[in-house]
Structure 1
Amino acid sequence: MGMFGFFRSAGMAAVLFLATASPAAAEGATATDAGAVAGTTLSIGELYRDKSLIGTTPEGYSWAPDNDTVLFLWNDEGYSFRDVWAYSARTGEKTRLTFLGRDSDPEVQQAGIAQAVMLGEGRVAFTLGGQLHIREADGSISPVETDKRAIRKLAVSPDGKWLAFVSGNPVDTRNRVTLGGVLWVRSIGERSDIAARRLVSSDDPKVYVQDYEWASDGKAITFQQSDDRAMPERDIYFYADGELQNNRVIRAFPGDETTRALVGMVSIASGEIRFFDRPDPKHHVWDYGLSGDGERLFISGSDLEAKEHTIYLYDTATGERETFYQLREPRHLRPDWQVDWAPGDDGLIILTDRDGWLQLYHQRQAGETPRQITQGEWEIEGFAVDRATNSLYFTANKSHLADRQIYRVPFTGGEVERVSGAAPGTHQPVYSPDFSRIADWYSSDTMPPELFVIDTARPGTAERVTRSPQPDFYEQTWADTRYVEFPSHVDGMNLVARLSVPANFDPNRRYPVIVGSVYSDAVRNQWGGRRSHPTWGLDQYLVSQGYLVISVNVRGSWGQGRDHNQTQLHSYGETDINDLESGVRYLIAEGHADPDRIGIWGSSYGGLMTIMSLAKKPGVYAAGIAGAPATNVWHAYPSQMWIMGPPEGDDMPERYEAQSALYQSAGIEDPLMIIHGSRDPVVLYSDTIALAEAMIEREQMFELVTLPGAHHGWDLEGLPQTRFSFRKMVEFFDRNVKNRK
């Protein structure tokens, strides 16, 4: 979670955990003498080159119905364009199915392939630049449904007869706020010139199909329709390309009307639609699902503040509703719930933290107390139900907070079995239809992401499918990443941090330190830590220049239980920045950090924490960099009310002002740099200007880097901008932290 988006210690003697490399990751061992150099010898420009040093991440896994072939999107040369590839688990053969990455047309290169699914008999459907294409068994490719745009969410029916997809509204005269979403279905056996049939649509692009699921027999589709008509539209004016432009967006603030969600079911044969009403359509929908026999439907949702979790059960023939499950927790922060049907439609499997940790439960009848299936002081991130073997597969941090390993457990309960290998790291599984195999996105602190395929009959073993890094990746010395634990200096709560140190780390030396990039859920054993920003190279460069880099699992984060995350309630810029300071205090106490040379940085919510840290803790940090900083929580997304609370009550406006860096910035004494894109619809650039005006009025010094026309992900919008931004950051930290006088 976080502003815009989202284990134990004895005294100050923290536990150090050094991740053990997987067998595949051993290729990452360097030929360079690690004791002779601190880290990589590459510059920012060389780390972020066009032909990626770490390779191109394999993405978009999709299994064929035969449970043998998995499709994925990849580039084996390290360029950004991903073509469609196939891997046969039976033969071990990897095949490139498209060669569009070699097309010289710049429009093709810019468009990119977003998704691919197997249609059977060697045919593949994929989207290129929002247009649907079909690759025939002979390798020929033809565009289909050419009258539609923004095609996405391809899904083949379980019986293999239909291809469903969502597209933008065919007629959108405004063409400025949203493309809308129309649900279509296309017979897989029809000729390419036979158009799809429209199932669910609206004349208003603000009413659109958000997502959908096939019924198990392929005769119906359940879907979620979103309605944005009550939400305000806002103009974001900015200068780019030498002129004034306007990015008009649908954007709600806390207290505004939000998206209204409606769940429905449509018959493939007749096109008849039935909607299932909820008592309050303004409330969130987190999950929905049709039973195997098609006779019942559940909808899992909550109030807008995510404090009351409710599951409704419907009779699909009559629409009759009953409240199946309900639990209210006044301090609840994170909607990490997940629900699915139990094997044999015998009630529901519920992922909830009702005992303080996110674990699996089974509930058979409405209103009864759920039976706990798994338990322990660790948390489950997501699960899937193997109905054929009455097993539940799930990913969890059972082995360590930073890990995401794959496990399974009998539906009836019992011993939890680890399916992924023994090496630490992060696994993101896509299960074959019969759960006999798993397409596994795997990465660790020493290994960039790769595709592995796991045979679930042989737990702990996997076949590596891709080899993404370029040869010179293995010639570099990389940072030594480890995990440390220490108590909060405020309340003693156990905290965990990801710490990267030079390969020639000297425990008796005091180093300059960079805290960041700070955010919630920032402690993850995978290459680069967080995936949402391409900061792997920035971190590696900083370490190679003699910095330590630390990220703390601040309150409000996933993985350490309800007592850990719920202390963040109403506490943006308070409890979280105390946790960051605890990490600094730990490094100083261990003798690793120079207390006069500590820097901090983060983006979005991390930018809020950065500015709050400088404002409330002068002298702790020598300097800070705030990217797209969320300085004014009055302009946050309504979902941030999970933490902030609603904009009403006897403690307003003090509660919101206490959580807004804009109102707390008077205490800033140390050097601050702000980096912000002028087109940002998530954190408004105008809020950065408001902060700048206030600091100028108080004659506080700061530096502002404006990226013209850039969005919220300012370091993701092309390599020139990434390199420019990271070079500015390095120069600022070197001047104000490393070489501080």
Structure 2
Amino acid sequence: MTSQAPADLTFETLYSEPSIIGTLPIGQCWSADGTRLAFLWNDGGHTFRDVWIWDGASQSRQRLTHLGEGRTSGEPQGISELAWIGEGRLAFVLGGQLYAVDAVGQVLPLAIGTPNIHTLAAAPDGASLAFLSGNALLALSTETGAQPQTLVSGSTFVGVESFHWTEDGRLCFVEADDTNTRKIEIAYDARGEARRDRFVRAFPGDLLTRRRVGLVDTKGGAPTWFERPDAEDAIWGYGVSPDGRSLFISSSDLSIKHHTIYLYDTASGTRSTAYAAHDPAKIRPDWQVAFSPNGEGLIVLTDRDGYNHLHLQPKAGAALQPLTAGPWEVAEFFIDAAGGTIYFMANAAHPAERHLYAVPVSGGEVTRITGPAGIHVPTFARDFSALVDLFSDDMTPPELFVQTLIGKTDPVPVTQSPLPAFAQRQWAEVRYVKFKSHVDGAELMARVMIPHGFQPDGAHPMVVGSVYSDGLLNQWGGRAAHPSWGIDQYLAARGFVVVSPEIRGSFGRGREWNRAMLNSYGTQDIEDIADCVKTLTDLGYADPKRVGIWGSSYGGLMTLMSLFKKPGFYAAGFAGAPATNVWHAYPEQGWIMGLTEGEDFIDRYRKQSALFHSAGLKDPLTILHGTKDEVVLYADTLALVEKLIEQGKSFELVTLPGTGHAWAKQDRTLTRFAYGKMAAFFERHLKA
């Protein structure tokens, strides 16, 4: 069948119900014996997800629930979570309520009267189910008719943030206390009413959330608490040894420059330090820690040797022994204790790819498990006999594939999500182009979408964006925080080259590569983007006089800084929810911008805030922002607007009433409107 011309693409085609790219499968979980896979999906491309089962014996899938039948666009997103429980049943959450479904699809309510349920986790033996109700931790025997028991209560500002089961059937959890954290009110108008919402929201220099780790028995009783020297320090991981006798907490100070792994005796609470490291220029908390299979040592993911790699610490205080090495990085790992194997995700094959690899716990040869180039996201069976892989590449929306690890058979497709119309369209080609920093010679790479009939003649308009860290990904739509796959395809169909540049502060290139970003919001990052543009225009990808840039949040900061500090370099910029003022950032942004300590912090914050650089604006600018944004305050955009007016600058402001930070994901109508504004803006300023 002949594919349709790309110019036929419209926002109605791209962002509609049902979706042309299908519905993303979520909630993958394996039965205890690893023979059946449950997941949430809609095979018609609608938003409502039902429970589906893939059976390993028959190599087939079937829909287990039919709760989405008759649901129309705009109704709830459907079932949100899944967990296998005793006797082959599944627990799931729909509308904040807990239900169970049996093997023939019969649905029964569980935990009647318990509201706002989320974060399901079945015990290792399947006999109990733990979950959060609001921020309280509850457990429920999976026997029919049982009522849930509150193990750790919650209140308005104190409650359980995360938890997991231990191998001996207890629950290890983190309690977060926001009693002393700043509360803000955001006033806005929406749907003809004046409204006022309250949020817990700290700013740099404020008191922070206090966190502590606890261990509680599902039979009841008070939790055992494990305190750290400073409860405001971050917690990056925690876990209990296989024999239940030891507990670790991976922690750091707010700046993430000091990393410490504390070790506790679970019976006495005695604390010692298993590992400590200091890096004055660290900007990414990519640590992961787990007990080794024998419980006597730790597996530590750290970049202490220059790149994020796996290390074995045989016992507390001992030197780290490298298990992996090379000019690439490990993103996360999973331990098969019985098999003596560590499985890990890494970008060793290509900076834009994530593959699954395996290495013996004792060290040795690294083996690649996944094949096709792209992004792989595995979920393992409990016995590591198989995995389900959520796979996507630049031309393929995400799908599930089952792959056995015993015998290593070829992956078997489980879902086929896109509508038939997807295959009838001509989607933009994607290329990867290397470029170098003129600042320090570092190598970077750009993901480049090519319009139909492209020739490198320097005549095309080009849109750079959405600019953000960690944007170099070989998957459908690239960086998926916003549904920007559609606006990218829309622009490419109209002759634009669409570029997602790699910038410093991203995963995968090592510690030294990222050091240039320290205290450098709107400085090193915008130089990386400009070097990408210069390389591509020199290669004939685009007309250097017709290049636009856009981004949201931090990407909005980079967009504004690019226009303010490089007037004339870009022909236009579109900034969504831009972080104009780092005085109002989250305290955690101190990883890069530094903390409010020392005599230089006022000058340092001004240098990294677009609000103080607006005098340089000479090029067309549109700012888009939602009035209910608690992440980046709409008031900060108004402060910039006031300054631009005082300076006599020309710009446009698009206000989205009652919309939060994720302005492109609130609903499809808003998505079409916002991206329509962006497309019209770039058509107006970048087309010849």
> Judging changes above 3 Å, is the alpha-carbon distance between structure 1 residues 126 and 673 closer, same or farther for their aligned structure 2 residues?
same
Contact 1:54 1:468 in 2 (8 A): yes
Alignment equivalent of 1:329, drawn from 254, 273, 279: 279
Cross-structure match for 1:200 = 152
SS of match in other structure, 2:305: coil
Cross-structure match for 2:107 = 141
Contact 1:479 1:544 in 2 (8 A): yes
Cross-structure match for 1:650 = 599
CA drift of 1:103 comes to 4.2
Structure 1 window deviating more from structure 2 (317-326 vs 40-49): it is: 40-49
**Separation (CA, whole Å) in 1 of partners of 2:519 and 2:420:** 49
| 1:292-346 per-position Cα deviation (integer Å, ceiling 9, x unaligned) | 0000000001000111110001000100111000000000011110001111213
CA drift of 1:659 comes to 0.3
**Separation (CA, whole Å) in 1 of partners of 2:373 and 2:422:** 21
* Code of the aligned partner of 2:168: D
**Separation (CA, whole Å) in 1 of partners of 2:223 and 2:174:** 12
Cross-structure match for 1:482 = 431
- Indicate yes or no: 2:155 matched with 1:188: no
Contact 2:49 2:77 in 1 (8 A): no
Contact 2:46 2:73 in 1 (8 A): no
**Separation (CA, whole Å) in 2 of partners of 1:111 and 1:419:** 33
* Code of the aligned partner of 1:146: I
Q: How many residues align?
A: 688
Cross-structure match for 1:524 = 473
- Indicate yes or no: 2:76 matched with 1:127: no
| 1:443-464 per-position Cα deviation (integer Å, ceiling 9, x unaligned) | 0001000011111124472111
CA drift of 1:159 comes to 1.6
Cross-structure match for 1:84 = 51
Cross-structure match for 2:380 = 431
CA drift of 1:258 comes to 1.4
TM-score scaled to structure 1, two decimals? Answer: 0.91
Runs of at least 5 residues in structure 1 that lack an aligned partner in the other structure: 1-29, 169-180
Contact 2:457 2:542 in 1 (8 A): no
Contact 1:72 1:84 in 2 (8 A): yes
- Indicate yes or no: 2:186 matched with 1:240: no
**Separation (CA, whole Å) in 2 of partners of 1:394 and 1:461:** 19
Contact 1:348 1:363 in 2 (8 A): yes
Contact 1:40 1:476 in 2 (8 A): no
Cross-structure match for 2:3 = 32
Alignment equivalent of 1:153, drawn from 94, 114, 119: 119
- Residues 348-367 of structure 1: pairs in structure 2 closer than 5 A: 348-367=298-317
Contact 1:481 1:499 in 2 (8 A): yes
Alignment equivalent of 1:116, drawn from 70, 77, 82: 82
Cross-structure match for 1:56 = 23
- Residues 596-675 of structure 1: pairs in structure 2 closer than 5 A: 596-675=545-624
- Indicate yes or no: 2:172 matched with 1:222: yes
**Separation (CA, whole Å) in 1 of partners of 2:209 and 2:54:** 40
**Separation (CA, whole Å) in 1 of partners of 2:127 and 2:519:** 51
Alignment equivalent of 1:716, drawn from 635, 652, 665: 665
Cross-structure match for 1:21 = none
> Judging changes above 3 Å, is the alpha-carbon distance between structure 1 residues 40 and 370 closer, same or farther for their aligned structure 2 residues?
farther
- Indicate yes or no: 2:340 matched with 1:390: yes
- Residues 432-471 of structure 1: pairs in structure 2 closer than 5 A: 432-459=381-408, 461-471=410-420
CA drift of 1:549 comes to 0.8
SS of match in other structure, 1:344: coil
CA drift of 1:120 comes to 3.3
CA drift of 1:272 comes to 3.5
CA drift of 1:581 comes to 0.2
Contact 2:239 2:290 in 1 (8 A): yes
**Separation (CA, whole Å) in 2 of partners of 1:429 and 1:737:** 41
* Code of the aligned partner of 1:210: E
Contact 1:227 1:260 in 2 (8 A): yes
SS of match in other structure, 1:212: strand
SS of match in other structure, 2:160: strand
Contact 1:453 1:463 in 2 (8 A): yes
**Separation (CA, whole Å) in 1 of partners of 2:534 and 2:73:** 51
CA drift of 1:598 comes to 0.3
SS of match in other structure, 1:100: coil
- Indicate yes or no: 2:253 matched with 1:310: no
Contact 2:628 2:634 in 1 (8 A): yes
* Code of the aligned partner of 1:595: P
CA RMSD in angstroms, aligned pairs only: 1.4
CA drift of 1:31 comes to 3.8
Cross-structure match for 1:589 = 538
**Separation (CA, whole Å) in 2 of partners of 1:404 and 1:515:** 23
Contact 1:588 1:594 in 2 (8 A): yes
CA drift of 1:145 comes to 1.7
Contact 2:470 2:506 in 1 (8 A): yes
**Separation (CA, whole Å) in 1 of partners of 2:162 and 2:601:** 37
* Code of the aligned partner of 1:560: R
Contact 1:497 1:523 in 2 (8 A): yes
* Code of the aligned partner of 1:692: V
**Separation (CA, whole Å) in 2 of partners of 1:508 and 1:499:** 16
Percent identity of paired positions between Structure 1 and Structure 2:
48
Cross-structure match for 1:15 = none
Alignment equivalent of 1:279, drawn from 229, 242, 258: 229
- Residues 539-554 of structure 1: pairs in structure 2 closer than 5 A: 539-554=488-503
CA drift of 1:100 comes to 1.1
CA drift of 1:627 comes to 0.2
- Residues 379-418 of structure 1: pairs in structure 2 closer than 5 A: 379-418=329-368
SS of match in other structure, 2:546: strand
**Separation (CA, whole Å) in 1 of partners of 2:298 and 2:72:** 50
Cross-structure match for 1:72 = 39
**Separation (CA, whole Å) in 1 of partners of 2:179 and 2:286:** 27
| 1:240-282 per-position Cα deviation (integer Å, ceiling 9, x unaligned) | 0101101210000011111111001011234241000111111
**Separation (CA, whole Å) in 2 of partners of 1:157 and 1:120:** 10
* Code of the aligned partner of 1:201: S
**Separation (CA, whole Å) in 1 of partners of 2:103 and 2:328:** 46
Structure 1 window deviating more from structure 2 (641-650 vs 680-689): it is: 641-650
